[in-house]
Amino acid sequence: MDIRKFLKQYWFQLVVFVLLAIPLLFVIQENVLRSVILLLSLIIWLVVSIKTKSVVFSSLLYILITLPFNLTYQLPLRVLFFNTDPYVSGIYTNYLVPTLSILDIGLVLLIASYIYEYGWKHIQVVLHKYLFYLVPFALFLLLQSVFRLDLNSLVNGGRLIFGLTSLLFLIDYFKTQKHSNLYKCVLWISIASVLLQGVLGTMQFLGGASLGLSMLGESQVVSGMQGSSFVTLNNEVFLRAYGTFPHPNVLGGYFVMNVLLGVFLYSKSKDFYKKLSILLIILSSIFVTLTFSRISILLVLGIVFVTLVYKLIKGKLFSFTPLLLVERFTNLMAGNDTSWADRVNLMKSSFSVMKNNWMVGTGLGNFTKGMESVIPTTVNGVLLIQPVHNVALLMITELGILGSLLYVVLLGKILISNISKMNWFKWLVIISLVIIGCFDHYLFSLPQGMVIGGILSLLLIL
């Protein structure tokens, strides 16, 4: 092999790899195994980009592969003139700690790769009609963070802008490139990821505790322990399936996304890959039950129902619901489940926080800081220090009226400019986004949730 020719041909991949790998040397002492996993992910990106000769293709697969893994690094509380206070009423709150995610690496890789592979002129064409909307929103987020000296808001704002920019690049990519090989890779990766998350979730459910896979981002939880998400059914306590996600609801949303992805890929595939698409739908539909996320389970049932009617058997349906899941839903009707009351109490607190920050908001990621004097409690007296479980209320509270308008107008411009014709599948995607957004916050507040939302937005456009 000619080393000079190799270095000349793949200099970009090698430089990016080195620049991203060097910081791992400084954090390796904190968690050796996590650092090794991160380094391994970068090696996979490097190898795939060299083999396929497309850094954009490799970066896309990198995001899809790493999406399930809640691998994060908490930044120091004092950086330059920023001083982060992660306490609410004397209680340490993770939501207030500025945190970088492995998915942030994926967004950086994708943006840098797109600029390298397509050049500045093409980038200018792609972004031209959105700059009037994107720049004011980015400036708002920057000023909001700087005036508050808030690193957490700055990090979250940067992630949001990077995510929106990545979405614009991917819209262009899917409009201008052939995707048969990409769809096949996406299908294989999705099946492997769903299978892995399903197996891990099943083991967590059966064992009643996490599996010690913190190097993959697994939460440290035990059935019945405060801070863990569990359900009481038939007088027994069951740990809900987490996989390597921070909460079972997020894992449930991931399965919903994969059911929709499976339906989409079924329409784009032939022969063997159609069967693989059906397998992805079946696996996701089975494993979502162990998350005990009522919203996700109902959405999966609804998506499968509509798909069977319109695509597969056109009218002949069957359904099966395990008895434990029936009890999970009847608990809500009977008033034995407190999750609805907790959501309502958080909504009430959000109005108080919103009233005090109605114009420019609390800053992204700072909802819990704003609720310091109006913290609701559960029926057991535990403080509910977490974001309101409603994307619209959370957005308005953290961005204020001004920031929310800028954000909604930008999103509206992106979607209206790129959605061509609505059909039953796109309405399913919209309904899924709206329902999840009405009852949870992760699509707006967590890196994994934001990527899930981004993928669902892409399905609206493709």
- Tell me which amino acid residue 359 is: M
Mind listing the pLDDT tens digit for each residue in 330-343?
Answer: 554 445 556 777 88
Confidence of residue 355 (pLDDT cuts 50, 70, 90): confident
Percentage of the chain modeled with pLDDT above 90:
60
Mind listing the pLDDT tens digit for each residue in 90-148?
Answer: 888 888 999 999 999 999 999 999 999 999 999 999 999 999 999 999 999 999 998 88
Instruction: Please tell me the distance from the alpha carbon of residue 237 to that of residue 240, in angstroms, as a whole number.
Output: 10
Residue 269 is predicted with a pLDDT of 85
Report the half-sphere exposure of 245 (CA within 13 A, side-chain side): 30
- Return the closest-CA partner of residue 451 out of 59, 142, 140, 123: 59
Residue 182 is predicted with a pLDDT of 87
Give Cα separations from 355 to 158, 169, 359, 397, 401 (angstroms).
Answer: 26, 37, 9, 8, 11
Mind listing the pLDDT tens digit for each residue in 411-441?
Answer: 999 999 998 888 889 999 999 999 999 999 9
Mean pLDDT for the stretch of residues 72-97: 85
Residue 330 is predicted with a pLDDT of 54
Instruction: Please tell me the distance from the alpha carbon of residue 160 to that of residue 141, in angstroms, as a whole number.
Output: 9
- The helix/strand/coil state of 72 is strand
Sequence length of the chain is 462
Instruction: Please tell me the distance from the alpha carbon of residue 312 to that of residue 306, in angstroms, as a whole number.
Output: 10
Residue 321 is predicted with a pLDDT of 42
- Return the closest-CA partner of residue 42 out of 29, 58, 27: 58
Q: Are residues 365 and 152 in contact, defined by beta-carbon separation less than 8 angstroms?
A: yes
Residue 33 is predicted with a pLDDT of 87
Instruction: Please tell me the distance from the alpha carbon of residue 36 to that of residue 4, in angstroms, as a whole number.
Output: 29
Instruction: Please tell me the distance from the alpha carbon of residue 142 to that of residue 171, in angstroms, as a whole number.
Output: 25
Instruction: Give the global pTM.
Output: 0.91
Instruction: Please tell me the distance from the alpha carbon of residue 227 to that of residue 116, in angstroms, as a whole number.
Output: 44
Mind listing the pLDDT tens digit for each residue in 156-215?
Answer: 999 999 999 999 999 999 888 777 688 999 999 999 999 999 999 999 999 999 999 999
